Structure 1
Amino acid sequence: MRAFIALLPPAAITEELDGFLEPRQEALADRAQWRWTRSEQRHLTLAFLPELEEWREEELIAAGEAWAERSRPVQLALRGAGAFPDPGEARVLWAAVAEPDPGSLASWAMALRSLASRSGVRVDGTRFTPHLTLARSIGRPQAAGHLLQALDTLHTSTWRAEEVCLIRSELGQGPGGTPRYTVRHTWSLS
């Protein structure tokens, strides 16, 4: 199965983000160029697992439990925006994640990728950049400088990330051909 390990923003942060995005989506973005991420699908990916064999899931969950027992919650907020691969030819618009103790999420991502690999799970090896995807270009890359200027004023409340989830992703199975995400397990941090 296709899966990922991620943090889910709390409902209050999702509502703040929706309130911030709504007027900007309508005023700035041509709907024919961008597909905006639905509120319930927003997440901060720590490890992408393109092929998690179901029989390895139990071992991964057990390894995640051991990691969660050693890990402490962190304070996070959304601050500003960016684009992948770059603003001139963007495929993805994202909200930047601010952490008072920089590097915590990078160390979590490294640890979770490592434990998944040790559990026999193939892990995508792309460089970790803490972000929350806001929109994807439809078709070819798009110039996004004007969008980033409008999104750069994003500044949410701080929240305490206390849980990490293993989430199954079924491409094209959600509304309008979007992915369907199902939480398979939640690890609570001590």
Structure 2
Amino acid sequence: MNRMFVAVIPPESRIEDLDEFLSVRRDAAAFRWSAPDQLHLTLAFAAHVPDRSLDDAIERLETAAGRRTPFTLTITGGGAFPNVAEGKVLYAGVETDAFEELDRAAAGARNALVKAGSEVDGGRFRPHLTVARAGVPVELSNWVRLLDAYRGPSWTVSSFVLVRSRLGEGPRKRPAYQAVAEFPFG
């Protein structure tokens, strides 16, 4: 079994920009901050992808990506899950003038995994990059306002990536991520 997700991975320069913005503020809260190399925009998540389904999933993801067209994306703003008053997840938001295309990329990734025999987790697609987690629900409105002041440089999204996630195998017991395949749009 494989724990996997399909994601848009921002270019390193965009991650560095967000990381620099957050770095001077991290000491102000005892959150579990996401490592820069783990920042991504999840399109679809499946906790159990059977080994026998992996090749089929890859073929279906290739087809799904081939139906998408590149679009511009910007990391900007922020929010909290489940809400700012009792947040456990602090996230950076995204902006695009092609939300329909982003939604279609997410739907295509989810459908590809389902048709390959995996159960896809999660509800409605809400594009975000998780930047920190709190161990218990906390008031996050000040942090969300801080992220609302952030606007990173835009870039063109022209692919998504299938990533294997191994819980507890990364530094400090974080997940270890391994890119399995990248799927270009168009």
Matched residue type, 1:181: Y
TM-score with structure 1 setting the length: 0.94
Q: What does residue range 21-170 of structure 1 map to in structure 2 within 5 Å?
A: 21-26=22-27, 28-29=28-29, 31=30, 34-138=31-135, 140-170=136-166
Instruction: Quote how far apart the aligned CAs of 1:125 are.
Output: 3.7
Could you tell me how far 1:35 is from its partner in structure 2? 0.5
Letter in 2 for 1:12: S
5 Å matches for 1:166-181?
166-181=162-177
How far does residue 123 in structure 1 lie from its aligned partner after superposition?
0.7
Aligned AA for 1:129?
R
Unaligned runs of 5+ in 2: none
User: Does the 8 Å contact 2:65/2:108 carry over to 1?
Assistant: no
* 2:117 partner letter: G
Give 1 or 2: higher strand fraction: 2
Once the two structures are superposed, residues 107-159 of structure 1 have per-residue CA deviations (whole angstroms, 9 ceiling, x without a partner) of: 21112111211111111141110000000012x11111111121211100101
Aligned-residue sequence identity (percent) comes to: 35
The alignment partner of 2:98 has SS state of: coil
- How many residue pairs match? The answer is 185
Task: Please identify, of 122-131 and 175-184, the stretch whose mean Cα deviation from structure 2 is larger.
Answer: 122-131
Q: Which amino acid aligns with 2:178?
A: T
The alpha carbon displacement at 1:103 in A equals 2.3
Farther-moved stretch of structure 1 (144-153 vs 4-13): 144-153
Instruction: Kindly provide the amino acid, as one letter, of the partner of residue 49 in structure 2.
Output: L
The answer as to whether partners of 1:88 and 1:144 remain within 8 angstroms in 2 is: yes
Distance 1:90 1:65 in 2: 36
In structure 1, distance between residues paired with 2:56 and 2:79: 35
Q: Which residue of 2 aligns with 1:4?
A: 5
Greater CA drift, 38-47 or 149-158? 149-158
Instruction: Tell me: CA distance 1:125–1:18, structure 2 relative to 1, closer, same or farther (3 Å).
Output: closer
* TM-score, length basis structure 2: 0.96
Q: CA deviation at 1:102?
A: 2.3
Query: 1: distance between equivalents of 2:63 and 2:159?
Result: 14
